[in-house]
Amino acid sequence: MRVAAVTLLLVASIALVAYAAEAFDRGWLSAFCAVPLALFAAGVVLQWAAGFDGVAGAALGLAEVGLVGVGAYAYERTDSLLPPALAYAAFVVARDALSYLSATGAV
């Protein structure tokens, strides 16, 4: 039930912003209609940030967000999925290598 409610609220808040952009001539009214979507996004970010296990978890989470940004920028510049895929593969290999090295005591 909770998943359905969250999904419906997200769809409704996105639809409200899209409708307001087309229907209203005043910019402040369109921006006001974006408040529910901004609150939803803030709640998701806060819930995501609260799940970190210390500084290392926060650093990994920020690295993942940075990876999404780099991937989006690379896709925009090249119109190819190869650069974002390579960035993700490099991130996964580096993360797993660091995890293995720290587990074996080499780091």
pLDDT tens-digit readout, 27-85: 788 788 888 888 888 877 777 777 777 777 778 878 888 888 888 888 889 988 899 99
Phi first, then psi: give them for residue 8, nearest 5 degrees: -65, -40
Provide the number of structural domains found in the chain: 2
| Residues 72 and 96 reside in one and the same domain | yes
Q: What is the mean pLDDT of residues 19-31?
A: 81
Q: Confidence class of residue 23 from pLDDT cuts 50, 70 and 90?
A: confident
| Residues 75 and 102 reside in one and the same domain | yes
| Residues 35 and 58 reside in one and the same domain | no
| Residues 38 and 9 reside in one and the same domain | yes
Domain that holds residue 59: 53-107
Contacts of 37 (CB under 8 A, 6+ apart): 13, 14, 16, 17
Res. 1: pLDDT tops 80? no
| Residues 47 and 3 reside in one and the same domain | yes
- pTM, two decimals, is 0.52
| Residues 38 and 62 reside in one and the same domain | no
